Copies of this chain bind each other. A is one copy, B any other.
Amino acid sequence: MPQNTQPIIVLVRPQMGRNIGSSIRAMVNCGLTHLRLVSPRDGWPDQDASDLSSGGMDHMTEIEVFDTLEDALADCHYVLGTTARQRDMVKDIYTARSAAEKIKSIVAEGQKTALLFGPERTGLLNDDLAHCHGVITIPLNQDFSSLNLAQAVLLVAYEWSQVRDDDNIKSHEYLTGDSEPATQKQVQEFLERLMMEIDDGNFFRNPDVRPHMERNITNLFTRARATDQEIKTLHGIVSALIGRKKAKSKA
């Protein structure tokens, strides 16, 4: 994938290798493979990072290390920084979701974009945010909004992945394995048989409420959205029950 088709994740002065590794795992989960590290505290490479990436490191296209944020952003066109709290700065503020839409529109213009995440303890400093065109503040529980680094990366990367793929993601499917959904005809035939059999068993004692009861039964089996296989199973169950009743009445 050409570099400009996805935002670069920039971890600014990250403190713990394990958090870098978990961030990499989250990135790859969401199809992001370009990482820049600005002055990681414990240097680079970092064994903790490799371990915590759970194999994600092998999927990365590029991991680059820079001494300064300015260097890391030098070739970028558009930059958003993440922050948990509002700052007294003049900035566009995005949610993770609206940021993803914004990044998508800018990536579509062929521009190189970057998403910044600050150190674990402090987050991005105002000096870091000054390099950003806007900020991302993820709307969370205001009484308990602190995310760890990898979780912040995950939410922002996830929103990106949902926007990037939104033409391909089916928001809702109905999975039936190897069998086919039953046709209404199959369901109806089963219901007719069922009604007949239970009527035969004196189920509908009060004729006044029979239509009401039939409707409830129909509704129940329709709502179940059975497959053709399951309709056969239901028939089998009815047959078995009839046979048992007959066997019993003979005994």
Contact = CB atoms under 8 A, between A and B. Distances in A.
A59 interface: yes
A61 interface: no
Given A29-B147, A97-B162, A151-B154, A86 B175 contact: yes
A31 B34 CA distance: 32
Interface string A82-109: 0000111111111101100000000000
Contacts of A165: 139
Interface in A101-122: none
A245 to B, nearest CB: 28
Given A31-B141, A141-B31, A141-B161, A93 B175 contact: yes
Interface stretch (A35-43, A68-76, A166-174, A198-206): A166-174
Interface residues of A, number: 56
A171 B98 contact: yes
Interface of A: 22, 25-26, 28-31, 54-56, 59, 86-95, 97-98, 135, 139-141, 143-148, 150-151, 154-155, 158, 161-162, 165, 169-179, 225-227, 230
Given A93-B173, A94-B171, A95-B172, 14 more contacts: A25-B148, A29-B144, A29-B145, A29-B146, A30-B141, A31-B140, A54-B148, A90-B175, A90-B226, A97-B171, A139-B169, A140-B158, A150-B151, A151-B151
16 contacts: A28-B144, A29-B144, A29-B146, A30-B141, A86-B175, A87-B175, A88-B177, A89-B175, A90-B226, A91-B175, A93-B172, A97-B162, A98-B171, A139-B161, A151-B151, A154-B154
